[in-house]
Structure 1
């Protein structure tokens, strides 16, 4: 589903993997379940908190709201990257939730994703990848951040979100999409 065609709901939209890491490492480890805490993020994850937690931003923006509590990537990106010679799996790019069956990058800002029976996150923007991606696999940054001939930049490393409703999320949980009111606002980096 994309913002341009909100009526086209994929037949299977789900959570493929949930991942977390207590330290500030690039990749996150798959888990049997994660607990989302409203306004905070994923319990036990290094990026959980009401204010900015990412080390690259914390020094100058430590008192600003944390708009990057949960990172989501669609599994289909891994297939695209495989055709370009990269091996990437769930959690490898630091995402907390790996989804399947939804074009996350095509959703508008403010979209609420209901994960399982209880949890919900609101998309705040695009993830802005850094050079750590090339440390993971050389050349991957160029593969996930492209610039077209007109100079427009396309970022393909998922979306960031804040937790609007807490709850437990597990692989296999359903994912329901709630679009914001019109007019829709395109995603930018946060």
Structure 2
């Protein structure tokens, strides 16, 4: 289980730009990301396998296209329980707060991709302990 992509954006509802590393701020989110703040969806996850499955021969999807903050490999996010804690990299801790979401309007992601998998397969978390994460970092499940 590891991080294969980290992405941020200045505005909500837009495709995110990939970065090599990011700073997670406790009870806030990724530094300089539009979704950061005092709420339960500070960070979003999507399995890289889900992104690959949504790609077609005619339309190749990239990391960040679904506005996910972190794409991973080896974790089936949609089947993780709310409340599950994960360690990202050396010291960051996050807690799953929501599975999927309701999209109230079609955003730039929907129009670019023709669908959005975040409502069904995206997972949201709050940051319990901050730290720097980078592409390639391991992810571990923390037992309570």
Structure 1 length as normaliser, TM-score? 0.68
1:33 aligns to what?
A: 21
SS of corresponding position for 2:55: helix
Q: How many correspondences in the alignment?
A: 141
> Contact (CA 8 Å) 1:34, 1:170: kept in 2 or not?
yes
Alignment counterpart, residue 113 of structure 2, candidates 133, 137, 140: 137
> Contact (CA 8 Å) 2:45, 2:123: kept in 1 or not?
yes
CA RMSD of superposed structures (Å): 2.0
Specify the structure having the higher radius of gyration (Cα). Answer: 1
Give CA-to-partner distance per residue, 1:91-123, whole Å, 9 cap, x none: 110011111111011110011111000111100
1:166 aligns to what?
A: 130
1:16 aligns to what?
A: 4
Q: 2-side partners of 1:18 and 1:95: how far apart?
A: 8
Give CA-to-partner distance per residue, 1:58-86, whole Å, 9 cap, x none: xxxxxxxx111001101000221125865
Moved beyond 4 Å, runs of 4+: 83-86
SS of corresponding position for 1:155: helix
1:123 aligns to what?
A: 96
1 or 2, which has the higher strand percentage? 2
1:155 aligns to what?
A: 120
79-88 or 125-134: bigger deviation: 79-88
Q: Where does structure 2 lack aligned partners over 5 or more consecutive residues?
A: none
SS of corresponding position for 1:80: helix
Structure 2 length as normaliser, TM-score? 0.88
Q: How does 1:33-182 map to 2 (within 5 A)?
A: 33-50=21-38, 66-82=39-55, 86-128=59-101, 130=103, 131-132=106-107, 133-138=109-114, 140-141=115-116, 144=117, 155-156=120-121, 158-179=122-143
